[in-house]
Amino acid sequence: MIRTIGVDLVDLKRFTDPPEERLVRRILSNDELAFYQTITDPKRRITYLGGRFAAKEALFKALPPHGGDARYTDITISADNDGKPVVRSRLIPQGDVVHLSISHTDSHATAFVILESDVT
């Protein structure tokens, strides 16, 4: 059963070229940061960062409130063998499943989240 949804759209102009290191570390988890540092194309770095930011914002909108203690780095988004985004986070209620789609152009990134629960 669908519990909630979340969506976000980001203007990639928000991220300078190159993005400030402080901002990158505020958004990306350690695993995401390790992958980000392997990206050599500056435009791809910005779309990766913007996509992760949009995805985490969409997830925050779908998740139950956490009393203001949730951080972007509490969420890690990786890819499965087919390239589909996979979300790991302590913020996701046990038993819930997150469906995530991320898309971007040269100027914008967007993400859509469905939080599904088997609880009726």
Q: Which residues are catalytic?
A: 61, 104
Give me the phi and psi of 97, to 5 degrees please.
Answer: -120, 135
Determine contact, residues 78/88, Cβ cutoff 8 Å.
yes
Determine contact, residues 59/6, Cβ cutoff 8 Å.
yes
